[in-house]
Every structure is written in C-alpha cells, then in structure tokens.
A and B are shown apart, each in its own frame.
Chain A
C-alpha cells in the first residue's frame, strides 16, 4: 500500500515538474504531426546565426521528414546535427531532411539536432516571437512562431 502511495506521489511530482516547465509552451498541429514549443535562445549582439529548438511528435503510422525551414528573420535555415566528442564540437547538415518516425517524438534540443538560422537579418530579442514555416515531406507546410527566450535558457529546459 505504501509502495502504491509512493508511486502516486512520484507521478504527481513528475507531472507537476513537467507542467510548470512547459507552462509557457505552445503547440501546432499539421496532419498527424504535433509541433511543440519552437524557441530560440537570444543570440549575442550582432550574431549572424541563431539556433532553433522544438519537439515534433508523429502520431501517424507513416514516417515523415522535416525537409525545410524558412523564416523572415534569416536568409537561410538548415537542420543541423551537433555532437561533442572528446571535447570537440562538430556540426553537420542532416541530408535529405530530419526523419520523424511514426509514433515517435523527435526533439531538436541543446547539444543535439537543431535548426540553424543563418544570415540573420535582425536580432531576435528575448520575449519576442518570430514567424517561420516548417515544411514536412508528407504533412506539408505549417506556420509556427519561435519564442525568443533569454540566453542560457537551454539549460533550464534541460533541467526538467
């Protein structure tokens, strides 16, 4: 009985922690995809690039691919992979688009896959949003807004 109670408390705490940390999240739906909380940490002064993060859940039964990202604030955007190995950071373009497997959630996050906004035309400043279009191979295009959060926010997101 005590064990059951412990489980209930643990679940409740997890749910509470999760809800509080994503309280400011925003979602979009296109076809069988759910796009959760696209955001960008505010880049330093004058920066020509910025990173974009989001979660994509494929509720359908077929794989899809994120093939392109466009936005008014950047001349170009690509989906990049990133890894840190033996202290060396390396980045690479994900050729052919990022696969979103059926029934799974793919997270573009700090220290991992991310959208790389290049040739920034304006600096995204914190507490603002900017428009972008994500295009998927099957689900097609979807208009979203990236929320700009303070620099260093990535680590708070991770902390959950």
Chain B
C-alpha cells in the first residue's frame, strides 16, 4: 500500500516538473516571436540642419524620434527639455545619437522657425518638417495619432502621440520613452539603446 502511494507521489512530482518545464520552454518560445505590429519605417524629410534626412542612411546608429509642434504649451517643450538634460547626462557616450523632432503642424512650423525654437535645446535634437502627405505616411508607420483641434479664438491646437520612439541601428523599433517617466528611467533606457540597440 505504502509502495503504491510512493509511486503515485513520484509520478505527481515528475508530471509537475514536466509541466513547469514545458511552461517555461513555451514561455521562452513566445518571447522569441517577433511582434505582430511593426513600428517605424523609412522616412526622407527636410531637416533644420538644411539637409534632407534619409532614415536608410542612418543604419549603424540608433536614433530617437518623436512628434510634436511648437505651438504646444507644455508636453513638447517638456519632452525636448527632458531629452536635452538626458543627452547632457550621457555626454560623449551619446555623441552620435540623433534625436528627431517631427512637427505634426508643418503649416505653422517652418524649418527656420523650428531651427530657432530648437536653439533652446541640445544640438543633437534635429527638427524635421514633413509635407502633409509625408506626415500622414510617417505617422502611419510610427502608429502616431495627430489631429487638429479648433480653438474659440479662430486658431487651432494639435492633439498628438507624445511618446519618444527609440530605434535600433537597423532602424527597427527598440522601445519608447513615456511622458510620465522618471528621469533615471529615461537615462537607463537611452543607455540600453546605445549599448544594445
């Protein structure tokens, strides 16, 4: 009787272990699966540096890209400010890191205006001004939402995705920086991008 019980218990242990093993194995397999949604894609846009930035020419260097507009009271200047202070902390470690600020309001944001606006921030941040069509294209590639909202004074403001997209040296999506994130977290993520991206 005791023997039967012992065999049963061992059988249970073996089944249990096998179950746990399979679970972890499948878990790992799952992790290896490529994401179904791709974020990002090639772009070729007019830049505040006077050149046209062709993203396919960026291969070999990771980069960051985010979307905003200069008639933005808080989120955009804050994002630019935080990015500048993170770049400052990274110093030479990030000397080749390019950060692109794509306007979702090309109507008001001319390259000259953006250039002067960006003098308040780290010079590694470069402004990109798409045409309306180019904007629709890049927004679709990056899954970025933007819309124009009229204001009562006859003007308008923009609602838009406020994430910073981190792209690896192959131009593939690596991660995001969130608007709500702590400075240490942003620093860690950018360090990781530079090392592994």
Contact = CB atoms under 8 A, between A and B. Distances in A.
Nearest to A48: B71
Nearest to B147: A90
Nearest to B121: A44
Contacts of B25: none
Interface residues of B, number: 36
A4 interface: no
Contacts of B152: 78, 93
A119 B73 CA distance: 11
Interface stretch (B15-23, B28-36, B111-119, B189-197): B111-119
B119 A45 contact: yes
Interface in A38-60: 41, 43-51
Contacts of B55: none
Contacts of A49: 71-73
Interface stretch (A5-13, A18-26, A110-118, A134-142): A110-118
Given A44-B70, A51-B74, A88 B120 contact: no
Contacts of A51: 73-74
A91 interface: yes
B162 A88 contact: yes
Nearest to A46: B116
Contacts of B2: none
Interface string B107-139: 000000100111111000000000000000000
Nearest to B151: A93
Contact of B159 (A45, A89, A111): A89
Interface string A91-135: 111000000000000000011001011110000000000000000
Contact of B160 (A41, A50, A80, A89): A89
B7 to A, nearest CB: 55
Interface stretch (B43-51, B57-65, B78-86, B90-98): B78-86
A44 to B, nearest CB: 4
Count chain A CB atoms within 10 A of each CB in B74, B80, B176 and give the residue with the most.
B74
B189 to A, nearest CB: 15
B81 A90 contact: no
Contacts of A48: 70-71
B80 A44 contact: yes
Most A CB contacts (10 A, CB to CB) among B81, B118, B119, B152 go to B81
A119 B160 CA distance: 21
Contact of B77 (A44, A84, A91, A92): A44
B168 to A, nearest CB: 20
Please list the 6 inter-chain residue pairs (A to B) with the smallest Cβ-Cβ separation, ordered nearest first: A44-B120, A51-B73, A90-B159, A89-B162, A87-B163, A46-B116
Given A46-B117, A92-B149, 4 more contacts: A80-B73, A91-B149, A91-B159, A116-B73
